[in-house]
Chain A
Amino acid sequence: NAGVTQTPKFQVLKTGQSMTLQCAQDMNHEYMSWYRQDPGMGLRLIHYSVGAGITDQGEVPNGYNVSRSTTEDFPLRLLSAAPSQTSVYFCASSPRQGSEAFFGQGTRLTVV
């Protein structure tokens, strides 16, 4: 019963490098989303998807790309990492937009 699986758990990048955070869910949920968690801030929505082939921007989308080619997978791409992207990233899935969210274990990303 895997639920939402995020990889990697930890990552250190140099400024300017690119990388992809992986997220997969096995619950056949329509809705998937990416959040970042910063000290003193709530979870902030980066991008979301209401179904395969459909993505949209959240509150803080700049510097990130997403795609949703399958129901199961929703990768988050950092095109050119910046120190401001140092954060903890959470992927979540829900049966529908706005319904109960199931979170992955998080990825702690440090950009130096």
Chain B
Amino acid sequence: ILNVEQSPQSLHVQEGDSTNFTCSFPSSNFYALHWYRWETAKSPEALFVMTLNGDEKKKGRISATLNTKEGYSYLYIKGSQPEDSATYLCAFREGSQGNLIFGKGTKLSVKP
């Protein structure tokens, strides 16, 4: 079974702080890496789908980078806001016929 690791498990920051977290995945047979945001009492929603080594994606204050050779992706949030509080999931796809393998997530809490 493929292992997708996310760190840290949880994070508490103050409003205005910038933060980042990590997703580690197998570096062999890479096809894609997904990031999802999962707010409490809602369902996960896709943030980014990244496929190329060196990819950088940005959506507002949130951005992500990808290193497929060493098997990691970083998610950055600039100037965190309370509405950014959520669990952030990454999911690894192995090969063109692979299913998504999810990490356990990083739970972010942003205090006003």
Contact = CB atoms under 8 A, between A and B. Distances in A.
Contact of A100 (B1, B31, B49): B49
B43 A42 contact: no
B89 A42 contact: yes
Q: Is the interface of A mostly helix, strand, loop or mixed?
A: loop
Interface residues of B, number: 25
A103 interface: yes
A58 B103 CA distance: 16
B89 A43 contact: yes
Interface stretch (B14-22, B59-67, B77-85, B91-99): B91-99
A100 B99 contact: no
Interface in A24-49: 33, 35, 40-45, 48
A74 interface: no
Given A33-B99, A103-B45, A105-B43, A98 B104 contact: no
Contacts of A103: 43-45
A105 B105 CA distance: 18
Interface in A1-44: 33, 35, 40-44
Interface residues of A, number: 22
A99 B44 contact: no
A97 interface: yes
Nearest to A102: B46
Given A42-B89, A100-B46, A48 B102 contact: no
A102 B100 CA distance: 12
B104 A101 contact: no
A101 B46 contact: yes
A101 B98 contact: no
A87 B19 CA distance: 31
B89 A98 contact: no
Interface of B: 1, 4, 31-32, 34, 36, 42-46, 49, 89, 91, 93, 96-105
Given A42-B103, A58-B99, A98-B97, 16 more contacts: A42-B89, A42-B104, A43-B44, A45-B99, A97-B97, A98-B98, A98-B99, A100-B49, A101-B44, A101-B46, A102-B46, A103-B43, A103-B45, A104-B43, A105-B43, A106-B43
